[in-house]
Homo-oligomer: A and B are copies of this chain.
Amino acid sequence: MTKQKFTPIEKIGRSGLIEKISKQFEKHEDNLIYGIGDDAAVVKPATAEHQLLTSELFTEGVDFDLTYTPLQHLGFKLVSLCVSDIYAMNGKPDFLLVNLGLTNKISLEMTETLYQGIKSACSAYGIKLAGGDIGAATGALTISMTISGHSDNTVYRSGAKDGDAICVTGDLGGAACGLMVLLREKKHFDSSGKYSMKPELEPFEYVVRRQLVPEARFDLIDALSAQKLVPSSMTDLTKGLNKDLLAVCEANNLGAMIYEAAVPVNPSTRFAADELEEDIDKFVLFGGEEPEIMFTLPEKKVEEFATHFKDFVVIGRMREKAHGVKMQTAEGHTMTLH
């Protein structure tokens, strides 16, 4: 284990830190007229029909754990979770604002590493860091992210019709399964001392990656745009399939029937769940933290779209409200989701 240099923030000061960080990002670029360095960021207004705004707060010990989360991954992940809210409206992200509340356990080097992850995510999603705020926090590292985006075909949670196919991108349950692997390793690490052994994460690489560096689905938005296809409803699955499906049903005043066997699960996730002796359904239904998108399409549109975009499956259908929100299990039983 190599020990990283630890320069306390107070040594460089808040304005020194902001200067150091801002050098890593462009101050003027395309629609970013003036980034970090004045009272507010100045940008060109979106020329699209709608501007989209989303903001989220992440707290150490609640939303993330620094004992098993590399700061570079954390920076990437939080941008992914935030940008996913823009994709979930069928929009494209433009600008990011990052607020940091730093504890005295966070060094200059750690802050720079966090911003490296944020920078990678900005490149991956085509976003520009436009500004934010750096201050002190008392007990927990606190990170707030805001993204401004735009859309010409905004899709809401509502808009789905009875009979619409419920589609899900990617695969589910990996992030939650990865979290359990990391928590197990942390426990082992805590009980066996500091320099005991390298955590054996290789067989769990896929699920750990899903937990630490999830990637938001801009590819779906690009494909929909290329096909001029507008889903009847959309949301992301960061709260977990069960909760997000219930929210969509409520927003539409409809019910739904989904099929457990149809819900996409990666073989690596299934393997990891078996190794952990955990029920895979728990991860899939209640896991969340996955920036995958759930969208609904009229039945007749599904097949054509599938010829253009591969990474989604139909997991069920919207139904009348009276039907309720139900799942047919792999064994053929029907259970009500709530």
> A residues within 8 Å of B by Cβ?
33-34, 37-63, 84-86, 88-89, 91, 95, 97-101, 130-133, 135-140, 142, 144, 146-151, 154, 156-157, 234-236, 251
C-alpha gap A99/B59 in the complex (Å):
11
Known A59-B101, A140-B138: A47·B45 in contact at CB below 8 Å? yes
C-alpha gap A41/B59 in the complex (Å):
22
Shortest distance between the CB of A20 and any CB in chain B (Å): 16
| Cβ–Cβ < 8 Å partners of A151 in chain B | 42
Partner of A131, one of B37, B54, B130, B150: B54
Contact B51 A44 (CB under 8 A): yes
| Cβ–Cβ < 8 Å partners of A140 in chain B | 137-140
Counted per complex, copies of this chain come to 2
Shortest distance between the CB of A282 and any CB in chain B (Å): 20
Which partner residue on chain B sits nearest A60 by CB separation? B138
Partner of A146, one of B49, B97, B236: B97
Known A40-B52, A44-B50, A45-B46: A142·B139 in contact at CB below 8 Å? no
Shortest distance between the CB of A238 and any CB in chain B (Å): 9
Partner of A45, one of B45, B57, B156, B157: B45
Q: List 16 A-B contacts (CB under 8 A).
A: A37-B251, A39-B54, A39-B84, A39-B86, A39-B235, A42-B50, A42-B51, A45-B48, A45-B51, A51-B51, A55-B98, A55-B131, A55-B144, A57-B101, A62-B137, A97-B146
Contact B154 A42 (CB under 8 A): yes
| Cβ–Cβ < 8 Å partners of A251 in chain B | 37-38
C-alpha gap A42/B91 in the complex (Å):
10
